[in-house]
Amino acid sequence: MKLSEVIFTNQWPTERKLGSSLLFIIDEVLKNQVPEALLKSKHVYWVQSGETLKNIHLFPQHVENLVDLCKDLDLSALKVVAIGGGSVGDFAGFFASIYRRGVGLIHIPSTWLAAMDSAHGGKTALNLGLAKNQIGSFYSAEKVVLVKPLLLRQPSERLQDALGEALKMAIIDRKVFTRFSKMKIWNDKAAWSVLPEIIKAKYRVVQKDPFEKKGLRQTLNLGHTLGHIFEIQHRLSHGYSVLLGTLFALEMSEAFGFLKTSSRRQIEKLPLWPDHYFADLLKLMRRTTERESLLKMDKKSDSSIQIRFVFIAGPGKTIVKSVLQQRVFQFWDEMLS
């Protein structure tokens, strides 16, 4: 898999710079944020972002609509340009990967979360009912264009949302950890300045195991196992859910003997780690009613009884192990008792 070219820019790229035959897939909430020319273009497919966009049952009709929009474009040079957050990128990337067995793809992420994480590394996905990302492909964007004014105009909630993935990355990657150890404030400016480091860290992992065959890439799933349960059942944002999932992994890693107490303290000392999250975690764990069935739906479930769990072994160190789902829930119950 080729890695994407990552471009940081202070202004929107011109259409001409992106390619000669472009089909845009854009989150409709960005209508007043994208360049005016796009509002008039007949090659724009406006979508409502969110998990419904990734529903496999709605996908065939989207494909019909998209192919119809392309009919006067040069298909041999076609590039799909996705402008939006994670769900738009997943959807547009999957379409690009299977239309004519793969056409060009460019991501212009509009959320911090997508800019840091989902736009990179070539994962595309659709959902099967509540089971997230069961269907998908590995398909890298040719380019990921990070447009500063677009990201800076996002609501600050989006920035908080991204903190979860950012802290996850700090735990996985030593260089990001060092950087985060010195960060006191999490705002637009801080996020934009640390963005290149976080992206590089992700590519370092992806490059070693692009198709997630060696277990290395799975380290990026840190915090996601429990995170997805919270995300689905309590309709929390992805980043916040991952943050809580990472906290759970921290607890479990120590309890299972993978993490020394001194290393755990080092990680907990990261200045951006918010206090109230531990109370939040316990509260949500108590309120979760369908954890078994939700965990089974997870793509990281190897079978009905085992799961691939990402443990934390220290700053910049993770270990992926198969564990019995039962043991995860035993620990869960112990935490609450």
Residue ranges binding its own copies (CB under 8 A): 56-57, 59-60, 63-64, 67, 71-76, 94, 97-102, 123, 125, 128-129, 131, 134-138, 211-212, 299, 301-304, 308
Give the nearer residue to its own copies in terms of CB position, either 29 or 56.
56
Give the nearer residue to its own copies in terms of CB position, either 211 or 329.
211
Per DSSP bridges, beta strands 78-84 and 123-128 are unpaired
Answer yes or no: are the C-beta atoms of 125 and 132 closer than 8 Å: yes
- For residue 59, the SS3 value is helix
Nearest-angstrom CA–CA distance, 27 and 4: 22
Give the nearer residue to its own copies in terms of CB position, either 129 or 196.
129
Maximal CA-CA distance, the chain: 64
Give the nearer residue to its own copies in terms of CB position, either 133 or 266.
133
CA distances (Å), origin 215, targets 84, 165, 283 = 29, 19, 32
Nearest-angstrom CA–CA distance, 264 and 138: 34
Residue type, 335: M
Least Å distance between CB 57 and its own copies? 5
Answer yes or no: are the C-beta atoms of 45 and 66 closer than 8 Å: yes
What's the Rg (C-alpha) of the chain?
20
Answer yes or no: are the C-beta atoms of 159 and 191 closer than 8 Å: yes
If you search the block for the tokens 């309890």, which residue do you land on?
A: 255
Give the nearer residue to its own copies in terms of CB position, either 94 or 180.
94
Least Å distance between CB 18 and its own copies? 19
Give the nearer residue to its own copies in terms of CB position, either 39 or 58.
58
Least Å distance between CB 24 and its own copies? 19
Least Å distance between CB 194 and its own copies? 28
Answer yes or no: are the C-beta atoms of 270 and 169 closer than 8 Å: no
If you search the block for the tokens 């738009």, which residue do you land on?
A: 88
Least Å distance between CB 138 and its own copies? 6
Phi, psi of 100 (to 5 degrees): 50, 40
Of 136, 153, 107, 143, the closest CA to residue 6 belongs to 143
Instruction: Locate 57 and state its tokens.
Output: 């049952």
Least Å distance between CB 199 and its own copies? 21
Least Å distance between CB 85 and its own copies? 20
Give the nearer residue to its own copies in terms of CB position, either 22 or 194.
22
- For residue 147, the SS3 value is strand
Nearest-angstrom CA–CA distance, 150 and 153: 5
Least Å distance between CB 317 and its own copies? 23
Give the nearer residue to its own copies in terms of CB position, either 102 or 274.
102
Give the nearer residue to its own copies in terms of CB position, either 210 or 245.
210
Least Å distance between CB 19 and its own copies? 15
